[in-house]
Structure 1
Amino acid sequence: MKKAKAPKAKLEHQNGHGLPFKFAKLLDPEASWDKDQLGDVLHWIRQVAGLMCGLIWGAIPLVGAVWILVFLVLSSGIIYVYYAQILKIDEEEFGGHGALLQEGLFASFSLFLLAWIVVYSLAHF
């Protein structure tokens, strides 16, 4: 005789609430965002962009300060399009354009440079 399975328990955080974040929320302009959640999402999008650009720049091989500026413009453009056009976030609620555009910038720039230098050095020397 088979035993009935108990329903799977909902994953919970230590505070007892269910998971506060779902991937569908990433593209939902109607979703509500708090400052920490939006900051985390922008940070990780920028990290992925930094890693991808670093790998591509190093593999091609691109050299020069112009490509650093291209990365900064591209990375900031991706972030701006994401929060302004896709999520339709009002920047003033989150501290203005500067606060949202700077989210994760230093860390992604560091990751970009690291990936670019390592891939370039390994592939072309």
Structure 2
Amino acid sequence: MAMKLKKAAKSSAKHQSGHVSSLKLAKLFDPEAVWDKDQLGDVLHWIRQIVALVCGLLWGSIPLVGGIWIVVFLLISSGIIYGYYATILKVDEEEFGGHGSLLQEGLFASITLFLLVWTLVYSLAHF
């Protein structure tokens, strides 16, 4: 734990001086990386938005209709987010606010984006 704190302090000092970006592509897949709540929340938020955009484009272009596809999107999106932080990053949920707080990052914004893109693509492509 002390080593992680030293890494965090070193990373924070470098970030404040402007020499090193706090979020690198390699850090996204490093289970040893140190995350603060805001950084991890931002990453999970944007992953969820990308999933929403892709699913909305796919659902609208196929064309899929019905409420079941909203549930399928929620399952896919939540599964990807949970798999990312639990399996790839091996993050302890308790450190970031308990069960479900990480799983809710970006949820409502992604639902909105998904529904908007799905509706627009479906309407433009099939009417």
TM-score range, shorter chain: 0.7 to 0.9
SS at 1:29 equivalent: coil
Distance 1:74 1:107 in 2: 15
- Where does structure 2 lack aligned partners over 5 or more consecutive residues? 1-13
% identical equivalent positions:
73
Q: Counterparts in 2 of 1:23-102, with a 5 A limit?
A: 23-102=25-104
Q: Which has the higher helix share?
A: 2
Q: TM-score, normalised by structure 2?
A: 0.85
Q: Aligned to 2:115, which of 110, 113, 116?
A: 113
CA RMSD of aligned residues (A): 1.3
The alpha-carbon deviation at position 48 of structure 1 amounts to 0.0
Larger Rg: 1
User: Structure 1 residue runs of 4+, over 6 Å off?
Assistant: none
Gaps of 5+ in 1: 1-11
Three-state SS of the structure 2 residue aligned to 1:100 is: coil
What amino acid is the match of 1:55?
Answer: L
Residue 77 of structure 1 aligns to a residue whose secondary structure is helix
2:17 is the alignment partner of 1:16: yes
